[in-house]
Structure 1
Amino acid sequence: MSSFVAEVLASSGKLEKEDIGTKISKLARRVEEVKGEVCDMINKKYEEFIPSLKNGENLVTQVDGISMEIDVLKSQIENEVQRDLRVAVTEFSELKQQLEKSTVLLSVLTQLHEFDTALETHHQALFEKNYIKSATHLNKAQSTLTLLKSRKGVELKMLQVLHTELIIQKENLLYHLGEEWKQLAVWSLPPSPAPTKAEDLFAWTLKTELRLCNMQSKKKSELEPLLVSILQGFAILGELSRKLKFFSQILMKYILKPLVHDPSLDVEIELQTHDAVLRFRPTEKQSDHASPTEVYQKVLTVLDFLHQHLLCVSQWDSVICNMKQDVILAEMLGDMIWEDLSEVIIKNCLVYSIPANSSQLDQYEEVIKETDKFEKKLKEMQFLQDHSTDLLKYARNVNVHFASKKCQDVIVNARNLMTSEIHNTVKITPDSKVAIPKLPSLGLVSRAKTAKTSAIAPSSMVSLGNGRQLGHRTLCVPTCRISESVQKLVELAYQTLSEATSATPECAVQLFYTVRNMFHLFYDVVPTYHRDTLQKLPQLAAIHHNNCMYIAHHLITLGHQFQCSLPSPLCNGAATFVDFVPSFRRLGTECFLAQLRAQRDELLERLSTARNLSSLDDVDNYSAASKAVRQVIHQLKRLGKVWQDVLPVHIYCKAMGTLLNTAVTEIVNKVTALEDISSESADCLYSLCKTVLEEGPQIFQPLPEESRNKKYQEEIPVYVPKWLKFKELMIVLQASLQELVDRWTDGKGPLAEEFSPIEAKSLIRALFQNTERRAAALSKIK
């Protein structure tokens, strides 16, 4: 063992790798030997029981020695071998980093070479007008520059120079492409701004022209047109969409929109040697709006012209253009213009082709067919994709649009009637009827109901019992005058509801509520629009009163007449206008009552100038009182002239009776308020009252055609409650003291019926002097 340890310890300096391995192997073998000896000794000691203490001590000494040798060797390995290993790894890492830097530098130089080569190729291709190759290499240079920017350590200033150069070259290519495009698609546009006058605008529009010069390039193969080269150049640079967008905007503004708007415009195409020209030409104007067929034909002519001479590109390489699918130029342009074009065609053409009456709906099928053909043709030219569009949906929804247009027309017509003059009137009699179109048959149930009703009331007279019958004019409108516009308004309501009975359920509901909205509109518009005239002119107030009552009269049964012919839920009781009736009656009544109050105030104001009817023996006082009474009579007669032929007889009598009653009441009150009435003043008062008594009833004289209603005018006390009191006052003014006592008759005579005891005593005190006879007479009036 000592020789082995000495051999190991004798080694000095640097240990080579092979020496360390040899020594480790020897040491391992020696450990195995010691292990065998240890095991052998343990067996002998614990199994054979042989005293071996001495031998054990020797083995311990050997193990300790080997352990020391192992520790020395481990220390040597850690201090020398690992130090040399770290130095080697460091040197290797530095070499590796140097290699990587060299590799990156080589890659950057390669990419710079590729960038320069791409730009050089671009310059050469641009010089040869090979725009596809030029744009492709510009894209390649762009990709190379992007990779360079992602590299670390590349000089920033150099990248900025390369980026600027690339932008300059791209703009240079776009400029050349733009110049070539301008020569291929030449627009001749009218000067801006557009004129405002219609005749000037038409001449201005005719100046628009589009010339397509589809020539082949002299620098390229005859198989590749210049147009393809230009368009693919734009596509490779990502500018094709923007270029077509600008082209589509000009196309819409100067060609397609004028063609749809103006029916007197048409297009013509002239084919020349290398050019194709599209321009406008004037045509004879048949109507204010062109038919859908004409518009479709004009639009197809324009789009077919573009499809043949500009957009039908067969040599198209989507791979070069870096696109996922083949580019269809017609489809791109169609996507750009279709939404605006559809909206223009709908608003300026299809809207006006919607029929105004339900009877014309069948004729509209031709418009639907033409719209379908129009879209199919556009799909064939690839302007549209294979799906339904808003244009065809609009054309097919004719029932909805018909209802909307019909409702709009109804409201517009109704409002025009409401804002027309009220004083244009027509006479309404109980025999007047509104012409109702024939309603569809209600079926067996309705006929059974009709038969049952006829069985109950076979004649036009309804029995009331006791031999009395209800007249055929019961619940009819009394004779009066209404505005012609209101009569047309009611007829419009009947016509609209009649059309609703034969329309689709959705259309019927819309038409029904349009009629309701029409009456809502009348309630809101007429009192506001005609406010001043209704307040100032009594005749118009009376006509408005009749108009409201006439409408309310028809609203009672309007819904019931059409209810069974309308769809659900209208036929289940929703079709009614009865809720409007109170409002319309109140509207007419309030307006007329306001006019009556104004006339009453005017009468009282005139009577206020009569100087309280006192001291009429004075000439000036009598003249003022006489003038006031004459003005009252004149005012009543004037109202009678403007109201008598307008209002129904009973309304006229009530209105005039109310005003006359106001006048006579005021006169009676003024006379009874006098404290002293001389005989001359009494005679003057009697003369004034006689004027009222004679001329007042004349306002109730019937017109010749009202002879059947003469009894209404003859019963003046019915409409003038104070008439008898007024006549009694006249008797008092001419009666003696005894005659007044006799007419009192202990509170049972005619004087007591009209005057209170206080009023009677006041009159006696004013008319007669204070004597015993007057005192005796006053004592009898209780």
Structure 2
Amino acid sequence: MASFVTEVLAHSGRLEKEDLGTKISRLSRRVEEVKGEVCDMINKKYDEFLPSMQSAEDLVAQVNNLNRDVDLLKSTIDNEVQNELKVAISEFTELKQQLERNTMILGVLRQLQEFNSAIEKYNAALSERNYINAAEQLEKAQSCLKILKSRKGFELKVLKSLGIELTVQKQNMLYHLGEEWQKLAVWKLPPSKDHSSLDLILKTELHLCTLPSADETSSAPVLGSVLQALAILGELNTKLKFFSQLLLNYILKPLVLYPSLHAVVETHPQGVILRFESTKCEQERPPPADVFLKLKVVLELLHKHLLDVPVENQIGDENNKLVLAEVLGDLIWEDISESIIKDCLVYSIPTNSSKLEQYEEVIKATEQFENDLKGMKYLKGDATELLKYARNVNSHFASKKCQDVIVTARNLMTSEIHNTVKITPESKVNVPKLQSPGGEKTKPQKSPSREAPALENEVKLGQHTFSLPTCRISESVEKLMELAYQTLSEATTSNKPCAIQLFYTVRNIFHLFYDVVPTYHKENLQKLPQLSAIHHNNCMYIAHHLLTLGHQFRYHLPTPLSDGAATFVDMVPGFRRLGTETFLAQMRLQKGELLDRLSNARSFINMEDEDNYTAGHKAIRQVIHQLSRLGKVWQDVLPVGIYCKAMGTLLNTAITEMINKIAALEDISTEDGERLYTLCRTMIEEGPLVFTPLLEEGKNKKYQEEVPIYVQKWMKFKELMIILQANLQEIVDRWADGKGPLATEFSTNEVKSLIRALFQNTERRAAALTKIK
């Protein structure tokens, strides 16, 4: 029986009438016959050894003919049958594609029909104010349009129009929902957007409508319908976000900021009204408990009349309800908790460690406030930022205390330096009562109190050996040192982290002084000698206390401070250097002014000329006036020893300049000598007056009268005056072969130069010069 493919091909007219199967069968039988003959021939040739050459050649020819017939049949099958198979497969594929296209068209038509049906149902529901159904139909239409747009290779021009229509209808519904929302929550805001004015905030009102008005035909709960529709359309968060911003700026934050502001709730048949009223309040910052109570009133009102409505998060999902209070809480909690911390809790942190126990009430009020909000679903279980801040009171106390200390210290540093107080060896700073290492309070001590132990020879040091000498310091510096002692005293009663922070705050105070004072008062320290002297004393006073400040509190502080870290000794050299450099800079400035004044004396040349003598006399008077002026501003400020050294150095600068100028003269007439002597006598008589002690410094008189101790060239200046009045013999006698007082102060060349300038060239002068050697 011929195969189906063969029959198809035969009927197509592309094969011969003879059946391919018949030909193949015939060839198969013929092959078998030839095979038998070949085998028989081989057997006869190699087995029976019969001469059959001719028979073999015939058989070869028959085999070759069979091979050609097989090749021809194979070629026919390859060319004819396979081509026909390809054509059949191609036709079947086209039929399949056509079927798929028809199926797709049917699907598109079905989606278009569903889109149209959804839009019609939407319009009907919207006209009946059935907002939930309308929103669901819009979402269904949106889903249909999304499916249509997702079909690649099948774009319709009508899709753009459908998209525009859907957008218009969605905006239309959002407009209606917005109108309904505005009827439910009505804001009456002040004309200005200024949130910082209490008078404007008092004009704010929020009206919540809980029942439909008299002209409404439907008594259905409009609020739930509106909120559910907004949730379906994905616009609920946007609407609540705008509401939350108004709530924060005009209600919640003002309640936190203003202690006198309170929320008042008025109930009406159609709903409630929330407004403000202001009462007299003397507190600058509201207590946390009052703030929590005021906020709770507002949030409870919103929860009861606006947010206590079940809303489904997804269409048809009854188990997935959206909690409106939780949505609003997520929107406002971060801002309102930040406001409570910044404007309320920060100011409730105590400034004294003794009041830390009272702060437990604030922590409890904060915890209760958060629990109330969690009960109303405003907060989730893990939202405890406010409570964490309140519980971390020790850290905040330390930070606030340190900040207050630094601010107070900086204010003292930038205050006027010239307001001074007098410090005497009897002056002491009270050290607060401290707990002894055993736990008992030690008796109050005085600082610095330095009673030296007896020496081996039973000789004791004086009571004030290590005391600061009498001087004047800035009142602000005295207060600064008291602040340091108070802060360290508080550190001894604080917990370990707080104590360490307070200790290093005190160190920071002194670092701040080192950096701020020289910079802030730089101009005055340079221009005003009195201030430079006061600043010098301030630095020495601070360094004096820093020597023992750490040791006094060391064993009352926690580790590692008690192990040796509580020290200020490392800062002492810096403060001493700061005070010294400032005063030395002022000394260099005063020296320069003295030399400038003496430069106007015209080098004391030709004193016979009246103008030159007047210029010299004026220069001397200016020098004495400058020294006198400095004496007035320094004498009651600097310690006696420092004052005498400073004035002695300046006076020494003046007389050294005079000695050098006079010794350099080449010709001094008799009248010149007299006038130079007069100028020098003025300096000798009036210069030491700057060392005259004050009435209360009578005990220091013996030190201040010994001018040569502080003026290095004083005796040389006196010897110069003697030379100006002496004759040659007197000069030679005072030289005394290099052993007299003149030889002690002047060199050989200086004396010879003065002799040549004072005396004419005579034999007596030559003889005198030979004796000066």
TM-score scaled to structure 2, two decimals?
Answer: 0.87
The answer on whether the counterparts of 1:128 and 1:219 sit within 8 Å (CA) in structure 2 is: no
In 2: Cα distance, 1:463 partner to 1:72 partner = 140
**Following TM superposition, by how much is the alpha carbon of 1:101 offset from its aligned partner in structure 2, in angstroms?**
3.6
> What aligned pairs does 1:579-594 form with structure 2 within 5 A after superposition?
579-594=570-585
Deviations 1:326-377 (A, max 9, x none): 2011001101111111111111111111111111111111111111111111
Q: Equivalent residue for 1:350?
A: 345
**Following TM superposition, by how much is the alpha carbon of 1:673 offset from its aligned partner in structure 2, in angstroms?**
2.3
In 1: Cα distance, 2:692 partner to 2:436 partner = 49
**Following TM superposition, by how much is the alpha carbon of 1:714 offset from its aligned partner in structure 2, in angstroms?**
2.1
Q: Equivalent residue for 2:724?
A: 733
In 1: Cα distance, 2:437 partner to 2:713 partner = 57
Q: Equivalent residue for 2:108?
A: 108
Equivalent position SS for 1:286: coil
Residue from 310, 331, 339 that aligns with 2:326: 331
Cα RMSD (Å) of the superposition?
Answer: 4.0
Residue from 302, 305, 322 that aligns with 1:309: 305
**Following TM superposition, by how much is the alpha carbon of 1:161 offset from its aligned partner in structure 2, in angstroms?**
1.6
Residue from 747, 755, 758 that aligns with 1:764: 755
In 1: Cα distance, 2:689 partner to 2:731 partner = 30
Identify the range of structure 1 (120-129 vs 750-759) with the bigger mean alpha-carbon deviation: 750-759
Q: Equivalent residue for 1:188?
A: 188
Q: Equivalent residue for 1:361?
A: 356
Q: Equivalent residue for 1:229?
A: 225
Q: Equivalent residue for 1:657?
A: 648
The answer on whether the counterparts of 1:149 and 1:159 sit within 8 Å (CA) in structure 2 is: yes
In 1: Cα distance, 2:667 partner to 2:68 partner = 165
Q: Equivalent residue for 1:513?
A: 504
Equivalent position SS for 1:482: strand
Q: Equivalent residue for 1:531?
A: 522
Verify: 1:425 aligned to 2:416, yes or no: no
Deviations 1:46-78 (A, max 9, x none): 9xx99xxxxxx9xxxxx9999999999999999
The answer on whether the counterparts of 2:258 and 2:285 sit within 8 Å (CA) in structure 1 is: yes
In structure 2, do the counterparts of structure 1 residues 753 and 85 end up closer, same or farther at CA, with 3 Å as the change threshold?
closer
In structure 2, do the counterparts of structure 1 residues 409 and 321 end up closer, same or farther at CA, with 3 Å as the change threshold?
farther
The answer on whether the counterparts of 1:427 and 1:479 sit within 8 Å (CA) in structure 2 is: yes
Q: Which amino acid aligns with 2:138?
A: L
Residue from 469, 485, 510 that aligns with 2:476: 485
Verify: 1:442 aligned to 2:437, yes or no: yes
In structure 2, do the counterparts of structure 1 residues 761 and 384 end up closer, same or farther at CA, with 3 Å as the change threshold?
same
Identify the range of structure 1 (226-235 vs 258-267) with the bigger mean alpha-carbon deviation: 258-267
The answer on whether the counterparts of 1:235 and 1:321 sit within 8 Å (CA) in structure 2 is: no
Q: Equivalent residue for 2:284?
A: 288
Verify: 1:260 aligned to 2:256, yes or no: yes
The answer on whether the counterparts of 1:262 and 1:289 sit within 8 Å (CA) in structure 2 is: yes
Q: Equivalent residue for 2:602?
A: 611
Q: Equivalent residue for 1:139?
A: 139
The answer on whether the counterparts of 1:737 and 1:777 sit within 8 Å (CA) in structure 2 is: yes
**Following TM superposition, by how much is the alpha carbon of 1:684 offset from its aligned partner in structure 2, in angstroms?**
2.5
In 1: Cα distance, 2:422 partner to 2:168 partner = 87
- Report percent identity of matched pairs: 62
The answer on whether the counterparts of 2:232 and 2:314 sit within 8 Å (CA) in structure 1 is: no
**Following TM superposition, by how much is the alpha carbon of 1:312 offset from its aligned partner in structure 2, in angstroms?**
0.5
> What aligned pairs does 1:527-676 form with structure 2 within 5 A after superposition?
527-676=518-667
Q: Which amino acid aligns with 2:738?
A: G
In structure 2, do the counterparts of structure 1 residues 153 and 516 end up closer, same or farther at CA, with 3 Å as the change threshold?
closer
The answer on whether the counterparts of 1:480 and 1:647 sit within 8 Å (CA) in structure 2 is: yes
Deviations 1:713-753 (A, max 9, x none): 12211101111112222222232332222222111111221
Query: Structure 1: which 5+ runs fail to align?
Result: 6-11, 51-56, 58-62, 448-458
The answer on whether the counterparts of 1:236 and 1:322 sit within 8 Å (CA) in structure 2 is: no
The answer on whether the counterparts of 2:232 and 2:313 sit within 8 Å (CA) in structure 1 is: no
In 2: Cα distance, 1:72 partner to 1:643 partner = 137
Equivalent position SS for 1:468: coil
Residue from 446, 467, 472 that aligns with 1:476: 467
Q: Equivalent residue for 1:453?
A: none
**Following TM superposition, by how much is the alpha carbon of 1:780 offset from its aligned partner in structure 2, in angstroms?**
1.5
In 2: Cα distance, 1:694 partner to 1:437 partner = 53
Equivalent position SS for 1:110: helix
Q: Equivalent residue for 1:171?
A: 171
Identify the range of structure 1 (95-104 vs 528-537) with the bigger mean alpha-carbon deviation: 95-104
**Following TM superposition, by how much is the alpha carbon of 1:685 offset from its aligned partner in structure 2, in angstroms?**
2.6
TM-score scaled to structure 1, two decimals?
Answer: 0.86
In structure 2, do the counterparts of structure 1 residues 136 and 739 end up closer, same or farther at CA, with 3 Å as the change threshold?
same
In structure 2, do the counterparts of structure 1 residues 68 and 524 end up closer, same or farther at CA, with 3 Å as the change threshold?
closer
Query: Structure 2: which 5+ runs fail to align?
Result: 3-8, 49-55, 57-62, 443-449
**Following TM superposition, by how much is the alpha carbon of 1:480 offset from its aligned partner in structure 2, in angstroms?**
0.5
Q: Equivalent residue for 2:736?
A: 745
Equivalent position SS for 2:430: coil
The answer on whether the counterparts of 1:481 and 1:546 sit within 8 Å (CA) in structure 2 is: yes
In 2: Cα distance, 1:617 partner to 1:281 partner = 94
**Following TM superposition, by how much is the alpha carbon of 1:681 offset from its aligned partner in structure 2, in angstroms?**
2.9
In structure 2, do the counterparts of structure 1 residues 242 and 744 end up closer, same or farther at CA, with 3 Å as the change threshold?
same
The answer on whether the counterparts of 2:212 and 2:270 sit within 8 Å (CA) in structure 1 is: no
> What aligned pairs does 1:45-124 form with structure 2 within 5 A after superposition?
95-124=95-124
In 2: Cα distance, 1:72 partner to 1:725 partner = 148
In 1: Cα distance, 2:25 partner to 2:603 partner = 156
In structure 2, do the counterparts of structure 1 residues 175 and 731 end up closer, same or farther at CA, with 3 Å as the change threshold?
same
The answer on whether the counterparts of 2:286 and 2:344 sit within 8 Å (CA) in structure 1 is: yes
Q: Equivalent residue for 1:698?
A: 689
Q: Equivalent residue for 1:392?
A: 387
Identify the range of structure 1 (513-522 vs 74-83) with the bigger mean alpha-carbon deviation: 74-83
Deviations 1:374-408 (A, max 9, x none): 11111011000011422111111111111111111
The answer on whether the counterparts of 2:652 and 2:711 sit within 8 Å (CA) in structure 1 is: yes
**Following TM superposition, by how much is the alpha carbon of 1:648 offset from its aligned partner in structure 2, in angstroms?**
0.5
Identify the range of structure 1 (127-136 vs 669-678) with the bigger mean alpha-carbon deviation: 669-678
